[in-house]
Chains A and B, each alone.
Chain A
Amino acid sequence: MLPRILIVDDEKGFTDILKLTLEATGKYQVQVENNPQHAVKMALQYRPHLILLDVIMPRMEGPDVAIEMRNDEKLKEIPIIFLTGTITEDEALEVGHKIGKHTFVSKPCHLEDLLNAIEEYILPFSD
């Protein structure tokens, strides 16, 4: 079975294309949630191996979604990659794409960079 990825981002145009692009690699199953307030519910239902999470969203911001997930016994171990336009690629590179325990990928990025970040977490699951 292919590893499952959940994308939480309010920009439907972006999530539609990202889902198609990731699925086209033939390596992942992808689910999208455009409403950050429903992200935890969707995660509990879908049980992803990895979450791609936007940072600035209306109604609820990415870090708050991440905190809710950390507080949930069933979700707390799921790795999260923040996919955000708030940092530049230079800044992401400067900190090795990590701030604390979290991985950051700058938006927009080349597919290859995103896939590398995903593989870092997905590989242990596909073993």
Chain B
Amino acid sequence: MADPNSIQYFEPISILIVEDNEIDHKVLEAMLSEAPPLISRLKTVSSLASAIKSLSSDQFDVVVLDLNLPDSRGQDTLKQLNKMYPDVAIVVNTGAYEDELGVKTLGFGAQDFLVKGKYSTYILNKTLRYAIERKRLEIELKQAYHKLKETQAELIQVEKMKVVGSLASGIAHEVKNPLAIILFGITYLSEQIKPKNKEVQLVFENIKEAIDRANNIISDLLNFSKINHLNKRKEDLNEVIEKSIMLVKHEAERSNVHINKNLDPNLPEVEIDRNRIEQVFINLFLNAIQAMPRGGTIKLKTYSHQIQKNTGEMSWIHDNGFKVGQRIVIACIEDQGCGIATEKINKVFDPFFTTRPTEGGVGLGLSVSKNIIDIHEGHIAIENQRKGGVRVSLAFKT
């Protein structure tokens, strides 16, 4: 059965001829005009600059390209066009006796080549249609490869999480009992001794604080291994964010960090587990605060967005199961810290990856957050901003 996406042989196609030699483009136009119902649009330009202009304003199925133009020569012409418009099929129209050059162009992104003076209307028509079909298959193959790579990366991540999860719950339980012994032990001793010496009191307090810290790490590990069910309800994301801000307020004030809010009051409700999402925001705010030890501003923004076909910088939306026409809610958190080293930014969601090993970071916060967002079928993205600092974007289905 024929692929429903493939172009039918007698379906009209749109063609852009890029040819500076008047005789050559007249010949081409004449040959193509022999089968007018099969061409929906035919345009001729004579330079690379005007070709780029045409392709940016109109959509063409195929470009018939002369390599030697007034503003670009040889393979560079092809490379440049192919780089800018990777989804358009290109057929190179080479000079006579340039078969060898024609073959080479296939390695630089052309789908086929024609040798001037050596083709008939039939061959021309067939070449253009085959080129379009080859380009379509090439795009499909690229998309499939991209999807495969992504799925592979996700599977690796899921496996990592599973291993860490089972390891975590085992360790957590074993460590909690001795911690309980130490905590009650130290409480008992301090009650019995009732130390008047301030230094002894300080030692007792320090031990208790250390136990609390160890217990928090263990609790993180336990939470990490337990995120598997959600208690989802329709919620106002702004309210959840406000609550999270309230919980980190003290930490922010202590570090001289100001939170600048720009929350859309008309945000549609999202179906989320309030406690889990609160956990995510608290974690992201704490990360942002810790990224600015000398103070600064966290910019926080929420808005809703209807997904368009061309999403530009937000192209990740299509890779995450969001559909064109769907309305999503986005929250962006920007800090003014020093950002994340380029070689490390792909690892931030890995369990036990931390940029703050010396400050007691365990490296579970972001992987837990990603886990929570994933099971909400949402998306979390982390990137360095051009102006410095990190931007975290969260997207939720409505």
Render A78-94 as a binary contact track against B, CB cut-off 8 A, 1 for contact.
00000001111111001
Q: Which of chain A's residues has its CB closest to B192's CB?
A: A24
**Known pairs A21-B187, A108-B183; A88 contacts B177 (CB<8 A):** no
**Is residue A13 contacting chain B, with contact meaning CB distance below 8 A?**
yes
Assembled-state Cα–Cα distance A110/B222 (Å): 19
Question: Which chain B positions have C-beta within 8 A of A111?
Answer: 184, 187
State the Cβ distance, B309 to closest chain A Cβ, in Å.
Answer: 42
Q: Are A14 and B222 in contact (CB under 8 A)?
A: no
Q: Are A24 and B188 in contact (CB under 8 A)?
A: yes
**Is residue B191 contacting chain A, with contact meaning CB distance below 8 A?**
yes
Within 8 A of B (CB), among A62-98: 85-91, 94
Assembled-state Cα–Cα distance A104/B211 (Å): 20
Q: Are B181 and A13 in contact (CB under 8 A)?
A: yes
**Known pairs A11-B177, A13-B181, A107-B176; A21 contacts B223 (CB<8 A):** no
Report whether over half of chain A's contact residues are helix, strand or loop; otherwise say mixed. Answer: helix
Q: Are A107 and B219 in contact (CB under 8 A)?
A: no
Q: Are B180 and A14 in contact (CB under 8 A)?
A: yes
State the Cβ distance, B355 to closest chain A Cβ, in Å.
Answer: 24
Question: Which chain A positions have C-beta within 8 A of B176?
Answer: 85, 107-108
**Is residue A17 contacting chain B, with contact meaning CB distance below 8 A?**
yes
Q: Which of chain B's residues has its CB closest to A107's CB?
A: B180
Q: Are A14 and B172 in contact (CB under 8 A)?
A: no
Question: Which chain B positions have C-beta within 8 A of A20?
Answer: 188
The number of A-B residue pairs with CB atoms under 8 Å apart is 58
State the Cβ distance, B235 to closest chain A Cβ, in Å.
Answer: 16
Question: Which chain A positions have C-beta within 8 A of B180?
Answer: 14, 85, 107-109
Within 8 A of B (CB), among A8-28: 11, 13-14, 17-18, 20-21, 24
Q: Are B188 and A94 in contact (CB under 8 A)?
A: no
**Is residue B185 contacting chain A, with contact meaning CB distance below 8 A?**
yes
Q: Are B183 and A90 in contact (CB under 8 A)?
A: no
Question: Which chain A positions have C-beta within 8 A of B173?
Answer: 56, 85-86
**Known pairs A14-B184, A21-B188, A24-B188; A108 contacts B215 (CB<8 A):** yes
**Is residue B179 contacting chain A, with contact meaning CB distance below 8 A?**
yes
**Is residue B40 contacting chain A, with contact meaning CB distance below 8 A?**
no
Q: How many residues of B sit at the interface, in one of the four size bands? A: 20 to 34
Assembled-state Cα–Cα distance A14/B181 (Å): 5
Q: Are A88 and B223 in contact (CB under 8 A)?
A: yes
**Is residue B275 contacting chain A, with contact meaning CB distance below 8 A?**
yes
Assembled-state Cα–Cα distance A56/B172 (Å): 13
Q: Are B188 and A90 in contact (CB under 8 A)?
A: no
Q: Are B181 and A17 in contact (CB under 8 A)?
A: yes
Partner of A18, one of B184, B191, B222: B184
Render A95-117 as a binary contact track against B, CB cut-off 8 A, 1 for contact.
00000000000011111000000
Question: Which chain B positions have C-beta within 8 A of A91?
Answer: 223
Within 8 A of A (CB), among B188-221: 188, 191-192, 211, 215, 218-219
**Known pairs A24-B192, A108-B176; A89 contacts B219 (CB<8 A):** yes
Q: Which of chain A's residues has its CB closest to B185's CB?
A: A17
State the Cβ distance, A102 to closest chain B Cβ, in Å.
Answer: 19
Render B330-341 as a binary contact track against A, CB cut-off 8 A, 1 for contact.
000000000000
Assembled-state Cα–Cα distance A88/B173 (Å): 10
Question: Which chain A positions have C-beta within 8 A of B188?
Answer: 17, 20-21, 24
Question: Which chain A positions have C-beta within 8 A of B215?
Answer: 89, 108
Question: Which chain B positions have C-beta within 8 A of A109?
Answer: 180, 183
Assembled-state Cα–Cα distance A26/B211 (Å): 26
Question: Which chain B positions have C-beta within 8 A of A107?
Answer: 176-177, 179-180
Assembled-state Cα–Cα distance A11/B184 (Å): 13
Question: Which chain A positions have C-beta within 8 A of B218?
Answer: 88
Assembled-state Cα–Cα distance A108/B211 (Å): 9
Assembled-state Cα–Cα distance A13/B187 (Å): 15
Known: A21-B184, A89-B219. 4 other contacts (CB 8 A): A20-B188, A24-B188, A110-B183, A110-B187
Which B residues contact A (CB, under 8 angstroms)? 172-173, 176-185, 187-188, 191-192, 211, 215, 218-219, 222-223, 275
Q: List 11 A-B contacts (CB under 8 A).
A: A13-B181, A14-B181, A17-B185, A21-B184, A21-B188, A24-B192, A88-B219, A88-B223, A108-B184, A110-B183, A110-B187
